[in-house]
Amino acid sequence: MDIRYPGGKKFRLQNREISQKPDYGNRGMTFEEDINVSNQYYLTNGIAVIHKKPTPIQIVDVDYPKRSAAKIKEAYFKTPSTTDYNGVYKGRYIDFEAKETKSETSFPLKNFHEHQVVHMKNILHCGGISFVLIRFSVTDEVYFLEGDKFINFWERMKNGGRKSIQKGEIVQFGHRISIGIRPRIDYIRVIESLYKEIL
């Protein structure tokens, strides 16, 4: 059975990772799938190896039945201390987080945890390539925002400024990624153009 959202977008259960926030999980699903198939394209073609990290889980109780697989009976989601995606392109360390918003005017920074931003700073300090992929779901626009620019907006919030990045700021400081077919979200192309002197 096909369940469809208003607007006709299909609800796809198979690839859905059960999320701590079910509403948010549904919203984010398609974007995550798009990134995963893009990563699969990069992998299959020997371009880059980028994986989504497993969701961190605190395991409390496990049953070890005889003759069958261990069953986790009690566990809880942990707050991620790093970003979701990392890997390698041309020897370089690549690290990013991908988030989307239903808002048409701004990207709310509550989508991030302080730990993740500290992680981004550490990555930049050690010479890694850090960025954020942001999707405006209503218009299906995807932007690549470099880590140092994202951190500037985060610091603005911490200094009492707005709790979001205005869409106009993302358009100005980020890089629009046109949605393609193979790969669907070609963020490596942006990396290639932004960091060509070190690649």
Cross-strand pairs, 101: 136
Residues 48-67 that bind a second copy (CB under 8 A): 48-49, 51, 53-57, 59, 62, 64
Binding segment for a second copy (CB under 8 A), chosen from 91-99, 100-108, 141-149, 168-176, is 91-99
- Give the separation between CA 59 and CA 78, rounded to whole angstroms: 10
For a second copy, give the closer residue by CB, 32 or 169. 32
Q: Work out which of 9, 76, 148, 193 binds a second copy, going by CB under 8 A.
A: 76
Instruction: Provide the pairing of β-strand 3-4 with 57-63.
Output: unpaired
* Whether 101 contacts 133, CB under 8 Å: no
Binders of a second copy among residues 102 to 131 (CB under 8 A) are 119, 122-123, 125-129
Could you say which residues in the range 135-194 bind a second copy, by CB under 8 A? none
**Cβ neighbours, 10 Å, residue 25:** 14
> In angstroms, rounded to a whole number, what is the distance separating the alpha carbons of residues 107 and 182?
27
CA distance 116 to 96: 10
Which residues would be at the binding site for a second copy (CB under 8 A)?
Answer: 17-18, 20, 22, 43, 46-49, 51, 53-57, 59, 62, 64, 69-77, 81-82, 86-95, 119, 122-123, 125-129, 198
- Show binding-site residues for Mg(2+): 82, 84, 97, 116
